[in-house]
Structure 1
Amino acid sequence: MHGQKILFAVHDWGLGHATRVLPLIRGLLDAGHSVIILSTGRALELLRGELDDRCNFIELKDIPKPFSRTAAAFYVKMSLSLPMMFRTFQRERRFTRSLCRREGIDRIVSDSRIGVCIPEVPSYFLFHSMRQIIPGRPYWLEKMVEGSQMRMFANAQRILVPDEAEDGGLSGDLSHNLSCDWKGRLAYIGPLSTISPQSGDQDLDYFISISGEEPQRSMLERRVLDQVEGLPGRVVVTLGKPEAETRSLSRGRIDVYNYLGRHDQQDMMNRARVVVCRSGYTTLMELAQLGKKALFIPTIGQSEQEYLARYHMERGHTYTVPQNHLDLARDAALAETYHGLPRMPPAAESVRRFLEVVIP
């Protein structure tokens, strides 16, 4: 088949969506296809920095981010923002239809941007949470939301799930044991990650990665920096904010970086015995490439992160603690008693499966 023109849309809630699609976009480019990337904010900046002149880039505003200081406020803001979300989806569809006519788009791949999908062009959604985890796990409500999502994806030919199909995979109930009949439209392509195992010693005791939207990122930063000198051994902390300066604590035993690029993040994750971080799904996929032990601190109000952290603790893989109850020395020691995340197939296998589905 001749080279295809692909519109690849990427969600901007955190950088996880942008990092996980990088292997797929590179796979398309290496196979001789051209890619137009549609995104916004920091996700667009990351993709532009990584792919530079290999792609064309379009900025289109994403749905609002209802992040708050408490879980209750998060759900209130999320509910109040629903009308704006649906207006955003309608605007995305109009824009997508016009763009596809103008550019002659052959395929659409959308990572969680619901409106970037039209029936006139073969469209594929990259999505890992067909079931939304609702506090208290009311079956009837979760099934209703799942059915609603299934209808929103009606124009997509397939839903690409970045997980394995067997044994609950990494995502558990988010994409397994589903309540609705998806009629064979789910394609489990396998986990995605730009992180890969490297040779070398584990000469770092703890790597702490602070991330997330404000105000939660700053709240976790304050807790970690207040407690980090209580950790034994060699420690590296990255604060996830490129604008400030790097400093050392405890006479050089602890290094605090404001920001680390993808290459340095990979280096630190490989070298660390234990990784302390959020439990976002992209982070799980990265740690599973390395089989790492981890201490998870879910973002307050994000039930998906809370579920994933609890799911893997119940399976004996990793330890988790709520942000407001963090005792870094105690909890990091407990994390070392767990087995670590099970290793998953390399991302190259997931890219192969992806290309087989999207461009048969």
Structure 2
Amino acid sequence: MKKRILVAPLNWGLGHATRCIPIINALIANNFEPVIASDGVALKLLRKEFPSLSSIELPSYNVTYAKKGKHFKLKLLKDSPKLLKAIKAEKKAIDYILDNNNIAGIISDNRLGVRSKKVVSVFITHQLNVLSGNTTWLSTKVHQKIIKKFNECWVPDTEGDINLSGKLGHSTHFEISTKYIGPLSRFTKTNTVIKNDLMVLLSGPEPQRTLLEKKLFLELKNFSGKVLFVKGLMENEQTIQVIGNITIYNYMTSTLLEKSLNESAVVISRSGYTTVMDLAKLNKKAFFIPTPGQFEQEYLAKRLTELLLVPSCNQDAFTLAKLDKVNTYKGLKAFDFEVDFKELFSLF
């Protein structure tokens, strides 16, 4: 019998779920049987990607963003009792899942309660340091304390000086077995004809996703080139709408998204870490608009702008004219990094 491995990404935007796709594919290729566990849009996306795999719904964290970026930390603090309750429910759910599903190991992508002493439990994160402004020391300490309860930590980045995550994924004070597994992406670069001058790729929790969508539609009215706009709404049916030079999808599955990104000259998106990894794999020129108040995205956007790779600005400041900067930046490039999944999975 194949060993069954529970793969559980956090439902916070689509990034955690999408970067688990190459992990799930690698498990299948190495003769394991992945079992998907998540909630909300993350679960919906993975069920669409892997319809033949078993999947289990986990308790939801139900965390939403503040409408104003400056209230982000306060909103998170206010939501913390709800978060702790969800983590407790998650642990209870894992005990039940292990008792009834013959699970041999766990891979948790940022789900804090998805672990067990009964089986080997791995935590995937690019945030060994959790940025939260003047409370960074505290959020980092709390996060690292939780990670230490796992058997191993996998960081989707390279260990050396040339890396994507910067200080997020690199810590000198972290006492747990840590493996740098290279940037994770479900995509492959193809040399294809460019069909879209611009592609908009939205995702992330509400209400910020909708606020950016409205802002971009307003600005792109005056864009003369061809635009492909993906809203990042995981609905039951895929919808396609054409308004002038803009083609609008509610969502795309991996195959179509990979094709569309390869066919697009420039991508506008959030600066979430999974998006950064995907665009690096595809060697893309981009423009980043970090989620207001999300320190991690603001740090990544600022860092990549300072490295002259990708221009960025905050949400309120974005105008169509800012896209003129894109060609003066180098764009993102992939790393030559091969993951030895066989060695990685030998833990199980």
TM > 0.5: yes
Q: Which one-letter code corresponds to 2:344 in the other structure?
A: V
CA deviation profile, 1:297-336 (whole Å, cap 9, x unmatched): 11112111111111100111100011111102x1111122
Using the alignment, how far apart are the partners of 2:92 and 2:212 within structure 1? Answer: 39
The one of 302, 314, 317 equivalent to 2:309 is: 317
What letter corresponds to residue 145 of structure 2 in structure 1?
Answer: R
Instruction: State the match for 1:159 in structure 2.
Output: 153
- Tell me, yes or no, if the aligned pair for 1:274 and 1:336 is still in contact at 8 Å: no
* Equivalent of 1:62 in 49, 55, 60: 60
Task: Work out the CA distance in 1 between the residues paired with 2:6 and 2:302.
Answer: 36
In structure 1, the residue matched to 2:9 is 10
- Tell me what 1:301 maps to: 293
Corresponding residue for residue 130 of structure 1: 128
Deviations 1:238-271 (A, max 9, x none): 2233579533344xx3323333332222122111
Question: Are 2:341 and 1:359 aligned?
Answer: no
User: Which structure 2 residues correspond to residues 41-60 of structure 1 after superposition, within 5 A?
Assistant: 41-53=40-52, 55-60=53-58
RMSD, matched Cα? 1.9
The answer on whether the counterparts of 2:6 and 2:106 sit within 8 Å (CA) in structure 1 is yes
Could you tell me which amino acid in structure 1 is paired with residue 163 of structure 2?
Answer: G
* SS at 1:336 equivalent: helix
Q: Identify the residue that residue 335 of structure 1 maps to in structure 2.
A: 326
CA 210–148 in structure 1, closer or farther in 2 if over 3 Å, else same: closer
Matched, 1:182 2:169: no
Q: In the alignment, which residue of structure 2 is the partner of 1:92?
A: 90
Q: Which of 142, 159, 166 is the aligned partner of 1:148?
A: 142
Structure 1 contact 190–345 (Cα < 8 Å) conserved? no
1:97-246 alignment, distance < 5 Å: 97-135=95-133, 138=134, 141-167=135-161, 169-176=163-170, 178-183=171-176, 185-241=177-233, 242=235, 246=240
Equivalent pairs counted in the alignment come to 345
- CA distance, structure 1, for counterparts of residue 86 and residue 241 of structure 2: 42
- Say if 2:71 is the partner of 1:73: yes
Deviation at 1:143, TM superposition (A): 3.0
| Stretch moving more, 231-240 or 157-166 | 231-240
Structure 1 residues 316 and 8 mapped into 2: Cα distance closer, same or farther (>3 Å)? same
Matched residue type, 1:342 = K
* TM-aligned CA distance change 1:149 to 1:231, over 3 Å: same
Distance apart, 1:171 and its partner CA: 0.8
Give the secondary-structure state (helix, strand or coil) at the position aligned to 1:150: helix
> Residue 294 of structure 1 aligns to a residue in which SS?
strand
Q: Which moved more, 1:64-73 or 1:123-132?
A: 64-73
Once the two structures are TM-superposed, the CA of residue 153 in structure 1 deviates from its matched residue by 1.7
* Aligned partner of residue 81 in structure 1, secondary structure: helix
Partners in 2 of 1:333 and 1:275 — Cα distance?
13
* TM-aligned CA deviation for residue 179 of structure 1: 4.9
Whole-angstrom CA distance in 2 between matches of 1:23 and 1:80 = 35
Task: Return the alpha-carbon distance in structure 2 between the equivalents of residues 244 and 3 of structure 1.
Answer: 34
Distance 1:206 1:76 in 2: 35
Q: CA contact under 8 A between 2:64 and 2:205: conserved in structure 1? A: no
Give the conservation status (yes or no) of the 8 Å contact 1:146–1:179.
no
Deviation readout 1:5-54 (Å, 9 max, x if unpaired): 2111111011111111011111112222122211111111111111111x
- Corresponding residue for 2:80? 82
1:248 aligns with 2:242: yes
- Return the alpha-carbon distance in structure 1 between the equivalents of residues 71 and 207 of structure 2: 12
2:290–2:297 contact (8 Å) kept in structure 1: yes
| Structure 2 unaligned regions, length at least 5 | none
CA contact (8 A) 1:247 1:255 kept: yes
Change (3 A) 1:84 1:157: same
Query: CA 1:244/1:3 → structure 2, altered by over 3 Å: closer, same or farther?
Result: closer
Partner of 1:32: 31
CA separation in 2, counterparts of 1:13 and 1:76? 18
Alignment partner of 1:23 is 2:22: yes
For 2:239 and 2:43, locate their aligned partners in 1 and report how far apart those are by CA, in whole Å: 24
1:326 is matched by which residue type in structure 2? Answer: F
Residue aligned with 1:52, SS:
coil
| Farther-moved stretch of structure 1 (330-339 vs 233-242) | 233-242
Runs of 5+ in structure 1 lacking a partner?
none
